[in-house]
Structure 1
Amino acid sequence: MSSVEVSLQETVGKGYVDFWRFKGRYRVVKGGRGSKKSVTAALSIIFNMMKFPLANTLVLRKTFNVHKDSTWAQLKWATYRLNVGHLWHFKKSPLEAIYKPTGQKILFRGLDDPMSITSITVDTGFLCWAWFEEAYQILNEDDFDKVDMSIRGELPTGYYKQLTLSFNPWNEKHWLKKRFFDVPDPNILALTTNYTCNEFLGDDDRALFEWMKKNKPKRYRVEGQGEWGIAEGAIYEDWREEEFEYKELIKTGAYKAVFGLDFGYTNDPSALVAALVNEQEKKLYIFDEHYESGMTNDKIAEMIKAKGFSKEKIIADSAEPKSIDEIRGYGIGRIQAAEKGPDSVINGIQYLQQYEIIVHKFRCPNVSIELSSYVWDQDKTGRFLNRPVDDFNHALDALRYALEKIRKPVRSTIII
C-alpha cells in the first residue's frame, strides 16, 4: 500500500491544536456556526483510526435518521479531504464506514433506539471512541451517561478511550455547561470556537455574520461568537420532553390535531409544527416538526405531503399570502392564513401559557431548543418587558398559528 503525504495544517487549518492532540476522556467543543468544529471532529476520527489499527468509533445523534445527511456525509468527506477515500467503504445499509485495510468500523446510532447502543460489538479491535454530534439536543444527561458507561474495558498500550462532543451553544442551564465547562478536570478539554478561526469561509459567509452582528446581536453572541445563550426570562416554563405515541392519543377522542407553518428562507428557517390539543385538560402534545432554511414553496409542499399532512388544515404566516397561494396550488388545499392583529403575539403567548406542553423527545428537537431559548426582552436596567425577543421563535410562531382556531373559534351567526 503506497503512502500518502498530507499537510494537516493546510487540510485542517488553525485553531484546533489542543483539540487534535488531547487524549483525555472527554473532548468537548462548543462553537458558533461556521467554526469548523464538526468537520474537524470528522477529520480527527478518520486520521486517528488509521493511526490506531485496533480502534473503532461510535457516532451518535439524538435521532438515528439524521446521520446520513450529517455525520456519515461529513466523515465520508473527511476521507477525501485527507486523500484516503479509496481506502474506505461507506455503506448505507447498515449505515457504517469500514477501513478496508484492517476492517475497523465507524458505527452510527441514535439515542431513540437504546438497544442498538447497549448491544454494540465490533469484529476487529476495540470500541475506543464515541462522537456525539449536536450534543445540545440531548436534554437528558442520563442518555449521555448510558453511552459513556458503554465505552469501557482494558485497551492495548498506547490506546485510549475518548468521547467527543460537538455542539452549538444555547441555554446556559443545559447540563453540558455544568458537566464540562464549569469544573476543572484534567480528563476534560472544553473549548469554545467561532467562525473567526475558520480560514476556509468565503467573503459571503463572513458578510452573513456581520449582518447578524448588526441586526440580531443576541443571536450573534451565540451563533457567531459561540457563547452560551440567555437563560433568564423564559416565556414558557411548563413544558417537558417525553416519549409518546400520538396515534394512541388520537384514539382517545380527547385530542384535536392542529398544524402551523412559519415561513423563512435565507437567514431564518421555515418551520412546520404538528400538535395535539386537549382543551379541557389544557394539555398540548407536540408530535412532529420540520425546521429547514432555504426551502422554496414547492419544497415546503413536498415536505407536507411526505409527512402525510396534505389534507390537514394548516394555519400559516399571513405575512406571505403569495407563498400560501403557491403552496395551495401545489396540492395543499386546506392551508390558510393566520388572522394576525396588533396584539396577536402576546395574546397567543398568553393562551399557550395556560397549557402543559409535552414535546416528543426525539421527533421535535428544534421545538425543545426554542422553548428553552425564547425569552422576554429587557430594558437597559435589566427589567423584563411585556414583549418577547424576536429570536428562537420560528417553531413557536408556527405553534401559535396552529392554535389560533382553537383560541378564537369561529362563531356561527343566527339570522332571524
Structure 2
Amino acid sequence: MSSETKVISMQKVIGKGYADFWNFKGRYRVCKGSRASKKSKTTAIYYITQLMKHPKANLLIIRKTFRTLKDSCFAELQWAVSALGVEEYWQVKESPLEMTYLPTGQKIYFRGLDDPLKVTSITVKNGVLCWMWIEEAYEILSEDDFNMLDESIRGTAPEGLFKQITLTLNPWNEKHWIKKRFFDAENDGDILAKTTNYLCNEFLDDADKRVFERMKRDNPRRYQVAGLGDWGIVEGLVFENWEEKVFDKDSILQRSTAKTAFGLDFGYTNDPTAFFAGIVDEVAKEIYVFDEIYKEGMSNQMIYNEVERKGFKKERIRADSAEPKSIDDLYNFGLQNVRRARKGPDSINNGIQTIQDFKIIIHPSCANFLTEITNYTWAQDKFGKKLNKPVDDFNHLMDAMRYALEDIKGDAFSFD
C-alpha cells in the first residue's frame, strides 16, 4: 500500500447541504429526505473518511432484513471508497458481508434485524463499536427494536471518539415513531433531525430534474414526500386488519385449510417488480405473508432467476395480465404454472373488499410489504372526501397480493 497522502475536496465529491450533518457529534443523527437527496451517499462518504481518521472506531450497518444490505449500504460504501480513491486501503468481502480498513484492521459490519442475535453479539478486535448506521429506518416499525439497537452502542469511547447512531429514511408516514421521537422532540443537543431533498443535489442533470417536475405536476401528493422530503400524511388506509408477527410458514401449511398463493406485478424503470408469497386460510380467515421480491430494473430473465432461486419455480403464480408478453417469457424460461390474472368489472375494489374480511399476518422479513400496507390509502377529492378507489401509489405488492388471491372461494373477481 502506498503511504502517499491523498488530498480530496469533499465539496467536489458530495457537494453542499450537509455541513450540520457532517459536523454533528451528538447521540442521534437523523436525516429524512426525498429521493436523490444525497443522504445515503453523503453518509457513506462520511463513514469511510471518519473510519480512516479514527483508528479505534468501528461501524455497524443495520437494515430490517439482511438480504437488502448488499444492494444498498454495501454498494454505497464501495462507491464511497472508489470516489475517494482509496481502494488499496480497503478489503471488501461478500461472505461474510464485511469491509476492513487494512492499515488498522477496523471493520464495517453488516447485520439485519431478522437475525437479532447476530446484532447483539458483535465483538470487535480493534477499538470499539461506536457508530451505527440504520438505512431505510422507516422499515423498523417497532420502537422497541430500535431501543435494542440503541442499547448495543454502549461503553466508554476512547479519547477523540464519540458514540452515535445515524438514521436515514424516506419520510413516507407521519405516524411513524421516528417523527415523534426525533423530529417532534425538544432538542437537548443530543439530536440532529434534518430534512433534505433533491434541490440540494448539484449532480442531477436536466433529465433527472424533469422527473421531479413531472411528479410535481402529475402527482402533487407524492411530490411533497418523494420530492421535497415532507412527511407523508397517511389517512384512510385501505387495509387496517394486519399485524407484523414472526411465524413458521411450514407450521401454518400443516393446516388442512391452508394453501400457498403467489402473485406478480411487473415493473421496470420507475416502478419495482413485486412478487408476493403468502398462505391463505379461508376457514380461519387469515392471510400469512412470508416472502417477497421488490426491485426496480428487473428483466424477465432476472425475475425468473430470482423466483427460481427462492424455490418458487413450480408454484402457481398469478401475474398482471396487462403484460402478456412478459408472462409468455416467464413461461418459456421455465415458470410452467404462471398464469394471467383474470379481468372483470370493478375488479380492484372487489379484490380489496374480499381481502378486508381476512386478517393479514406479515412476517417481519417482508419489509417492503410492510411499507406499502402502511401507506396504501383511499384517494380523496379536492375537498378531502374519500373516493371509492385507492391512490395509485404504494400498490405494487398490494396488487400482487390481490392477483395471488383471486381464487378465494365465493369471489369471481380479477384485477386491473
Q: TM-score range by the shorter chain?
A: over 0.9
Within the candidate set 237, 246, 249, 1:246 is matched to 249
Deviations along 1:133-163, one digit per CA (max 9) or x if unpaired, are 1111111111111111111111223211100
- Of 159, 162, 174, the residue aligned with 1:160 is 162
What is the SS of the residue equivalent to 1:290? strand
Cα offsets for 1:171-191 (capped at 9, x unmatched): 111111111111122211011
Q: Which moved more, 1:125-134 or 1:195-204?
A: 195-204
Residue 322 (structure 1) aligned to one of 321, 325, 328: 325
Q: Is the 8 A contact 1:351 1:407 kept in 2?
A: no
CA distance in 2, matches of 1:107, 1:317: 39
What are the Cα deviations for residues 359-394 of structure 1, in whole angstroms up to 9, with x where unaligned?
Answer: 1101x1111111100111112221212211111111
Partner of residue 109, structure 1: 111
Identity of aligned residues (%): 55
Q: Which residue of 1 aligns with 2:191?
A: 188
Q: What is the TM-score with the length of structure 2 in the denominator?
A: 0.95
Equivalenced residue count is: 409
TM-score of the two chains, using structure 1 as the length reference: 0.95
1:281 maps to which residue?
A: 284
The answer as to 2:35 corresponding to 1:29 is no
Among 405, 408, 412, which residue is 1:406 paired with? 408
Q: Structure 1 residues 250, 280: CA separation in 2 closer, same or farther (over 3 Å shift)?
A: same
Partner AA of 2:376 in structure 1: Y
> RMSD over aligned Cα, in angstroms?
1.4
**Equivalent residue letter for 2:142:** N
Find the aligned partners of 1:317 and 1:76 in 2 and give their Cα distance: 36
Q: CA deviation at 1:342?
A: 2.3
* Distance across 1 between alignment mates of 2:115 and 2:91: 25
Q: CA deviation at 1:396?
A: 0.4
Query: Which one of the candidate residues 56, 74, 80 is aligned to 2:58?
Result: 56
CA distance in 1, matches of 2:268, 2:76: 24
Q: Does 1:211 align with 2:217?
A: no
Describe the superposition over 1:45-95 as per-residue Cα deviations: whole angstroms up to 9, x where unpaired. Answer: 111111211111111111122222221221122122112221111122322
Q: Show the counterpart of 1:313.
A: 316
Task: Identify the residue that residue 229 of structure 2 maps to in structure 1.
Answer: 226
5+ unaligned residues in a row in structure 2: which ranges? none
- The verdict on how the C-alpha distance between 1:30 and 1:407 changes in structure 2, with shifts beyond 3 A counting, is farther
Amino acid at match of 1:215: D
Of 378, 381, 390, 2:380 maps to 378
Unpaired segments ≥5 residues, structure 1: 411-416
- 2:240 counterpart residue number: 237
Q: Is the CA contact (8 Å cut-off) linking 2:65 and 2:367 kept in structure 1? A: no
Is 1:354 the counterpart of 2:327? The answer is no
- Structure 1 CA distance for aligned equivalents of residues 92 and 333 of structure 2: 36
Deviations 1:207-255 (A, max 9, x none): 2222222222222221111111121111110111111111221122231
Paired AA for residue 173 in structure 1: K
AA in 1 matched with 2:184:
D
Amino acid corresponding to residue 4 of structure 2 in structure 1: S
- Residue 6 of structure 1 and its aligned partner are, at CA, apart by 0.5
Query: In terms of mean alpha carbon deviation, does 272-281 or 72-81 score higher?
Result: 72-81
- Give the counterpart letter for 1:297 in structure 2: N
